[in-house]
Structures are given as C-alpha cells and as structure tokens.
C-alpha cells in the first residue's frame, strides 16, 4: 500500500481520537463546573420540558440569532443546515449497504454543497464589509472560514471538475472502521479534501467550534425559570452555610 494511504489512515485515526477525546474532556469540564446561580435569560421556560424545547429552537432555527441580525442568521443558518445535509450525504461512505433514506438525500446533498459555500461566503463577506464585525475578527476567524470554504470547494471540485474513484474512497473508510486499512486513490484533490477535514476535526475541541457543545451548557439558555419554587445550591456555595453565619 502506498505511503500516502498509510499516512491518511493514521491521520484519520489520530484526528478521530483528538475529536472524540478532546470533546469528551471539554464536555466533562463543562458538566463538572457548577452554575451557582439561576441566570436564565428571561422570559424563560418554567419547566425542564420547556427548556428542552427552547434548546431545540436554538439548535434547529437559531432563534436568538434570528432576532439579532437577519443577514447573519440567513448566512449562518443556510451554512449549518447545508453542512448537516452534506454530512448526511457523506454517510454513504461509512455504511454498506446504503439505506434508502441516504440514497434519497444524495441530490439534495449536492445542492447543499453549493448552499454551504454560499453561506460561508456571506459570513466571510460580513467580516470585511461590516465595520463592527471587521473590528472583532481575529486571524483564526478568517482561517476557520477559509478552512470550511476550502473543504466545500475541494468537495465540489471532485464532483464537477475532476472526479475521484468514490468506490475506492468508500472501501478506504470502511477499511478504517474495520481496522483493516485499504488503499486510498492517489488524487491531489482528494488528499486536499481529506487533509482539510482531518484538520477541522483536530482543531474542533480547541477552537471556537466549541460553540456547538457550549450552547447546551449555557446557563442563560438551559436553566428553567423556577428559582422561587426550587432551591438551587452549588456544592461550593452550600459549604458557606456551615461557616457559622445563621
């Protein structure tokens, strides 16, 4: 097997490990850090079920962002929704046989590739055109958009400009999952695409991509508005009660 295939196999094992372990550690850190006070942004749901619904609306529709800025919402939502479809489309590389529902989404996944690129371009344009957003943008903000756009671009290029041997790509990933690495087609575009995806997986737990798990741990969004009905006490705060004060 070619050195490149071995290299990519190793890269994907490493990237997956970093992503999974890194995220797990971060989530453990968030979950283990107490929220000593009730701080939901009100009006807030008064029940846990209501809170779950609030989070669903945030995740599925970006409710707060919609209220904040229609342009950012439009570009951001289109990008994320398209990315979800693209990921769904790519699941076919990891399952055999391909279920009907995955076969059904294939054409939508291709359209989503373009929508994803368009959404990213819109988000990036804001970083240059809106003076407030320009002021707050760091090099990593630009790089993150460049990385995602390059992933979308190389993917679309393989679909429309220089096709790659997708059957071999699939056997490569099925092989990875079976711990039996198979050769990867020698194709510069494919190398670029996969290398960038691995990079994205590796930076995920160390970057602002932590907004994904962060939302679920955000006290202003995930707390129920019930402080008069339920006493809420963090362990470190409870210890103050035994310090002699009444």
Partner 1 sequence: MADVTAPPLRPFPVAPPVVPDAMAASKPYVANEKMQEALGFPGSLVDDWHDRAIAKMGELLGNYRSLRVYLDACVHCGACSDKCHYYLGTGDPKNMPVARQDLMRGVYRRHFTVAGKLFPKLVGATDLTKDLLDDWYKYYNQCSECRRCSVFCPYGIDTAEVTMAAKEILDTVGYGQKYSNEIIGKVHRIGNNLGLPGPALEDTLLGLEEDTKEETGADVKFPLDQKGAEVLLVTPSADFFAEPHVESLIGYAKVFHQAGISWTLSSHASEAGNFGLFIGNYEQMRTIALRIREAALELGVKRIVVGECGHAWRVAYSFWNTLAGIGAGGDDPFARQLQAQLDSRYRQPTHICELTWDLIERGALVLDAEANDHRVVTFHDSCNVARASRMGDTPGGQFEIPRAIVRAVSNRYVEMRPGTTREATFCCGGGGGLLTDELLDLRVKGALPRMESLREVADGHGVNFMATICAICKAQFTKVLPYYGFDRSMVGGVHQLVSTAIRLGAKS
Binding site for partner 1 (CB under 8 A): 26, 29-30, 33-39, 41-46, 58, 62, 64-65, 67-69, 72, 76, 123, 126, 130-133, 135-141, 143, 203, 206-208, 210-211, 214-215, 217-221, 225, 227-234, 236-238, 240-241, 245-246
For residue 59, what are its two tokens? 């995740």
Task: Give the C-alpha distances (Å, rounded to integers) separating 179 from 16, 96, 173, 193, 236.
Answer: 13, 16, 10, 22, 46
Distance CA 111, CA 34 (A): 43
Residue found under tokens 């990213």: 120
Closest approach of Cβ 203 to partner 1, in Å? 8
Closest approach of Cβ 31 to partner 1, in Å? 8
Q: CA geometry: angle at 215 spanning 69 and 142, to 5°?
A: 60
Question: Of 6 and 68, which CB lies nearer to partner 1 in the complex structure?
Answer: 68
Question: Of 3 and 245, which CB lies nearer to partner 1 in the complex structure?
Answer: 245
Question: Of 165 and 226, which CB lies nearer to partner 1 in the complex structure?
Answer: 226
Q: Do residues 79 and 120 touch, judged by C-beta distance below 8 A? A: yes
Closest approach of Cβ 246 to partner 1, in Å? 7
Closest approach of Cβ 192 to partner 1, in Å? 21
């Amino acid at each position: 097997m070619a050195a490149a295939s071995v290299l990519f196999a190793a890269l994907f094992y490493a990237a997956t490990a970093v992503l999974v372990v890194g995220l797990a550690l971060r989530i453990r850190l968030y979950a283990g850090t107490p929220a000593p006070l009730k701080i939901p942004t009100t009006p807030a749901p008064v029940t846990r079920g209501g809170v779950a619904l609030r989070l669903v609306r945030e995740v599925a529709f970006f409710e707060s962002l919609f209220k904040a800025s229609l342009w950012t919402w439009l570009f951001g939502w289109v990008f994320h929704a398209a990315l979800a479809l693209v990921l769904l489309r790519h699941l076919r590389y990891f399952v055999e046989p391909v279920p009907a529902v995955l076969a059904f989404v294939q054409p939508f996944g291709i359209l989503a590739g373009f929508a994803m690129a368009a959404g990213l371009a819109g988000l990036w344009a804001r970083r240059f055109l809106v003076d407030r957003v320009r002021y707050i943008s760091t090099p990593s903000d630009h790089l993150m958009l460049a990385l995602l756009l390059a992933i979308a671009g190389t993917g679309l290029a393989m679909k429309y400009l220089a096709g790659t041997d997708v059957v071999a790509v699939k056997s490569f990933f099925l092989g990875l999952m079976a711990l039996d690495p198979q050769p990867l087609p020698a194709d510069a575009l494919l190398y670029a695409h996969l290398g960038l995806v691995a990079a994205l997986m590796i930076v995920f737990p160390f970057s602002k991509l932590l907004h994904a798990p962060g939302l679920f741990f955000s006290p202003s969004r995930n707390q129920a508005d019930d402080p008069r009905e339920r006493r809420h006490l963090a362990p470190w705060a409870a210890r103050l009660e035994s310090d002699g004060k009444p």
